[in-house]
Amino acid sequence: MSRRIHPSVAGAQPFQLAERDPEAPLFESAEGQERLQAVLSRYPTKQAALLPLLGYANELHGWVSKQDMESIAERLDLTPAYVWSVASFYTMYNKHPIGRHFIQVCTNISCHLNGAQRVLKRFLEETGTRPGETSEDGRYTVIEAECLGACGFATAVQINDEYHENVTPERVSQILAGLDGNGS
């Protein structure tokens, strides 16, 4: 699964987009080292590099594990407790493993008015999960998301890095089938 960068942000994201691989080592690889150095070179203190490195772990593994927090703490001369404090402050770092398809259904006002709750319900039914839970086959995690910034195209659904706009309950099966057809 390769990811595409939208041209409008590509230039502003010099060190982004790791391939998601829950088993990959965080820093014990050429890419990991390169990423660590790239991040460190951009911040005045090691502590300041904490958020981007948590983001890197989140991208690479899909979530931030205890081991990830420990190895980040070690690289940045922080205590693991401090890293946990920061990671837990931000809701968008996943603290639990997620499925291969991380489905975020926007339920803020515009989407809500356009039937987001029904879309969410359908996603949960089709994947056989409860909110935040990963399906048994490891394919799907469905969560309710805050505003995805696509209010003009409600209901908006973000699956991994892809946006799906104007989603209706009827389109859910088709979207899910498309994901599987994607070979992942």
Interface with other proteins by CB under 8 A: which residues?
66, 69-70, 78-85, 88-89
CB of residue 100 vs other proteins: minimum separation in angstroms? 25
Q: 67 vs 173, which CB is nearer to other proteins?
A: 67
Q: 49 vs 83, which CB is nearer to other proteins?
A: 83
The sign one gets for the Cα dihedral 130, 103, 16, 26 is positive
Q: 8 vs 89, which CB is nearer to other proteins?
A: 89
Q: 65 vs 110, which CB is nearer to other proteins?
A: 65
Task: Report the C-alpha gap between 78 and 84 in whole angstroms.
Answer: 10
CB of residue 131 vs other proteins: minimum separation in angstroms? 17
Integer Rg of the chain from CA: 17
CB of residue 148 vs other proteins: minimum separation in angstroms? 21
Q: 72 vs 154, which CB is nearer to other proteins?
A: 72
CB of residue 52 vs other proteins: minimum separation in angstroms? 20
CB of residue 36 vs other proteins: minimum separation in angstroms? 21
